[in-house]
Amino acid sequence: MRIELKDAGRRFNQEWISRHVNYLFEAPNRYAVLGPNGSGKSTLLSLLLGNLSPSEGEIIYTAADGTNIPVDQVYKHLSFAAPYLDLIEEFTLQETIDFHFKFKKVHPAIQKSEILNLLGLKKSQDKPLKYFSSGMKQRTKLILATCSDTPLLCLDEPTSNLDVQGIAWYQELIAQFSKDRLVLVCSNQQNEYLFCNHLLEVTDYK
């Protein structure tokens, strides 16, 4: 999969968040979108996800077979994790996994039955998510995204709410499930994007 931005920009009211972005994101590569808090990282990611439309320029999505992907179909090709992403609090962990994989295929590197063990929360499989800590919820979001069979994996501040052990777990998870995919990571923490082979500074497009 590839995403091409051609002179793309986004503004809110009269303030430009980014302008004149010409950039190609292409699998199998891993890109870190970098910048200080409030610099527009998440806005750029929302543009790439198709959640926001560019105020100028265009964004072109192309599948691995060379066909164009309409922006309203991009969601079918991606998985996404972020600390602000909501989960259904009344669902148990097992129900959450079952529900998610009604809409996404499981990554071929793992069986669905193995996901709980990889997550490290098998003892909590029947516990509603409303009783989970913020770290447990973040782990759940990351496992759902990385273990989905999508060509595009997008992560926004992936180690938020994770302790040292959780960060090490995240790094191992990425090493296992990032191969042959287009991976985008929005971050200002180096331990979140050490595996990336391309760095994009959003402040270069102000």
137 in Cβ contact with 167 (< 8 Å): no
Three-state DSSP class for residue 51: coil
Whether the per-residue pLDDT at 147 is higher than 90: the answer is: yes
Tens digits of residue pLDDT in 160-172: 999 999 999 999 9
Q: Sketch out the chain's domains with CATH numbers.
A: 2-205 (3.40.50.300)
**Which 8-state DSSP code applies to residue 129?**
G
Question: Which residue type does 42 have?
Answer: S
Tens digits of residue pLDDT in 149-206: 999 999 999 999 999 999 999 999 999 999 999 999 999 899 999 999 999 999 888 7
CA distances from 104 to 147, 148, 176 (A): 9, 6, 18
